Amino acid sequence: MKHLFNLAEFTHSNCSIEYTDEHNILIKSEKEGGRIMLSGQKGKAGGTDWKKARYIVLDVVNLESWAMGISLEFWTYMNDSDKPDMKVTMGIVPGLKTRLSFPLEALNSQEMFLKRTPGKLKTVVKGNKVRVDEINRFGIGIFKWPSDQKLRLSNVYLTDVEPEYPLPDKILVDELGQPAYSDWPGKTHSVEEMTAYLTEEAKKPIPKGFFNDDWSRYGGWKNKKFEATGYFRTEHDGRRWWLVDPNGNAFFSSGLDCVRPGEAGYVEDIQKLFAWLPDKEGTYSEAWKIGEIYEGYDFFNFGVANLIRTFGSEWWNNWAKITKRRLLEWGFNTIGNWSSLDFIRYAKLPYVWPLKNFPTTQKKVFRDFPDVFSDEYTRNSAVFAEQLKAFEGDRYMIGYFLRNEPIWGFVDGLNIAEEVLENECELASKDALIMFLSERYGGDINNLNSSWNTDFDSFDDLKKPIRKATSLSAAAEEDLTDFSRIMIERYVKIPSEAVKKVDPYHLNLGMRYAYISSELLYSGCQHFDVFSINCYRLDPYSELERVGKATGMPVMIGEFHFGALDRGIMTNGLVAVNSQEDRAIAFRYYMENAASANHCVGAHYFIMNDQPALGRYDGENCQIGCIDVCQKPYEEFINSVILTNSRLYEVAEGLTEKTHIKTETVERNAI
């Protein structure tokens, strides 16, 4: 089936519409962000049966010079507010006619990040589950932006087959991996220019030790001493938390994530957009990642290719030498998450490590939340812990993160026990929930019925799927919240106990929660040594203090960044500013505010390299790096990094006042 919507039937807000015909319009969105919307009967908005379709499809042309963010928005008939039940955000490349599609099965919200299709950047599913037969409103929105934006929209339709994704012949990326359609200060204009620059960089010597004489071989602060244990640990000095290095020096972790030679970019089905891609075999084979990130998909790392162009077979050794020197000169004392283990071994600098393959179960409760009461979860946790044997006795390892940003944690106010009741699978967690409720209500189903406003014949009736159980009564919500706390505590406890059994010396740095979407995420924190969050804000101080006071623990920030559009890349990041000068100001303001928070023991910047011009595996393509794809540092930003890192210990100790100079953020544009 294929049902083409009449765009003249859509209403619009915060935008104006110019019609070519009923299937082709120009949207001029206002700064606040615009939206067009189609309404109708539930399950039949636009006069067709949505249950017969599998995809919603639209053709777009972004008429701006930056990656535009748009959204597909869905309301159910039970929602009469302006806020949709689900919002699917997508990034679209400028000037490229692109076909977008959204699989309607993704309305179940089990996946948050969808795979890419040709020409599309990142796709994020946000919000609650939506049943297609309950949809009565559908919207297409354009993100907020400091100026008006224009979008060409055509051919919006429902279909039962996935569409093809045609692209025009257009070069968007030059032979060095830079955007081909613009120029900017510091852009490299030829292979020869790049080669000359990197050759000179490789000649510079590596400094001995850290740049600051007051720092230990581990980057700890020799002016504040604690007991030495030979490994990194934590200590509260009566005023604030610290990490302590193996020699007993106070340690504040200033880290850099993704220390590796470049970032692999998605090239599958978009090869025509690149000015140059070499053969997969031969000289540049190490720059290709074929099926390593997604099975059957090709990725190419221009950062590696540029190093091979310059240094040939000695490319890695020269990159490692350049990079170790830079980290020492810049004052980073920690190699952050997702960095090259070969480089970590070479550099002999403190580091944190992301454990792989967090334990899961074949049957999930919701998204990536496993059946935590199953024996399978316990067995898989023991297997998961075995990987730490490879780090035995490593004094440079600060600790490990159990995982990064659990996807289930992105749903604000999620009640995971409610998801257990709605799940159709037989789950050990459902059996445990039923036992919990039976014990709470004295084994009498009538007591539960009275509290929940239900008419179950027995507790076994709870094995049948129940939708939105927290809405049954205040008591039902309270019961399910209490059991959610038990489930999350078990989610944390079982793998945490397993890793400590294998490795009692290194620090368990927690889950790197994307943000605290519910107070329930604090459950089980006593099994961590450090509570970790990723904190994308201009100022992290209040969030650090909130999390620290709620847990009573030291807190580490695993990720933050600032991006701008003044140096080529078309997307400006999760926290965006106007320029490289503003990135410099923002970095110092962020880090010194973090160091002044008494619970904070470190913060790690994301990332070393700019992201690929046309996006990594999920479509992110932000100008957020310390260096560009040709290995050139952003000097304004790096000068601020050096100054900031030289001040952090005195700021943390309260000897030096933190900076009060801050910049303004701007709207982020595509992720």
668 in any annotated domain: no
Predicted pLDDT at 244: 98
Domain check: are 533 and 486 in the same one? no
Q: What is the mean pLDDT of residues 188-217?
A: 95
Return the SS3 of 59: strand
Residue 450 domain flag: yes
For 584-617, the pLDDT digits (tens) are 999 999 999 999 999 999 999 999 999 999 999 9
Bridge-based pairing of strands 555-557 and 600-605 is parallel
Domain boundary among 456, 485, 501: 501
Give the pLDDT confidence score for residue 294 in this predicted structure: 76
At 615, the amino acid letter reads G
Average pLDDT, the chain: 96
- The pLDDT > 70 percentage for the chain reads 100
pLDDT at 209: 83
CATH code of the domain in which 94 resides: 2.60.120.430
- Residue 501 pLDDT greater than 90, yes or no: yes
Does residue 292 carry a pLDDT above 90? no
Q: Is position 663 within any domain?
A: no
Residue at 284 is within a domain:
yes
What is the rounded CA–CA span in Å between residue 513 and residue 406? Answer: 7
What pLDDT, on the 0 to 100 scale, is given for residue 208? Answer: 86
Q: Report the C-alpha gap between 422 and 400 in whole angstroms.
A: 34
Question: Residue 322: is it exposed, middle or buried by C-beta count within 10 angstroms (0-12/13-18/19+)?
Answer: buried
End-to-end CA distance of the chain: 32
489 and 578 in one domain?
Answer: no
Confidence of residue 291 (pLDDT cuts 50, 70, 90): confident
186 part of a folded domain: no
Q: What is the DSSP letter of 610?
A: P
Shared domain check, 378 and 319? no
Do 223 and 309 sit in the same domain of this protein? yes
Q: How confident is the model at residue 211 (pLDDT cuts 50, 70, 90)?
A: confident
As a 3-state breakdown, the chain gives helix, strand, coil percent values, each rounded to 5, of: 30, 25, 45
Query: Do residue 302 and residue 433 come from a single domain?
Result: no
pLDDT class for 108, splitting at 50, 70, 90? very high
Both 155 and 233 in a single domain?
A: no
Q: Are residues 148 and 8 in the same domain?
A: yes
For the stretch 407-440, pLDDT in tens is 999 999 999 999 999 999 999 999 999 999 999 9
Tell whether 330 and 372 lie within a shared domain: no
Decide if 277 contacts 300 (C-beta within 8 A).
yes
Position 588 scores a pLDDT of 98
Strand locations in 162-313, DSSP E? 221-225, 233-236, 241-244, 249-251, 253-256, 265-266, 288-290, 298-300
Gap between the Cα atoms of 396 and 253, Å rounded: 12
373 in Cβ contact with 490 (< 8 Å): yes
Q: Within this chain, do residues 63 and 148 fall inside the same structural domain, yes or no?
A: yes
Domain check: are 146 and 199 in the same one?
Answer: no
Q: Give 47-94 pLDDT, tens digit per residue.
A: 999 999 999 999 999 999 999 999 999 999 999 999 999 999 999 999
CA–CA separation, 609 and 606 (whole Å): 9
Quick check: is 545 in a domain?
yes
CATH classification at residue 209: 3.20.20.80
Q: What is the pLDDT of residue 210?
A: 85
Domain of residue 197: give its range: 191-337+528-653
Q: Which two tokens stand for residue 285?
A: 């084979």
Q: How many domains are there within the chain?
A: 3
Does pLDDT of 496 surpass 80? yes
Whether 222 is in a domain gets the answer yes
Residues 8 and 155 in one domain: yes
Contacts of 504 (CB under 8 A, 6+ apart): none
Nearest to 233 by CA among 221, 225, 222, 245: 245
Quick one: 207 and 262 in the same domain? yes
- Is the residue at 347 inside a domain? no
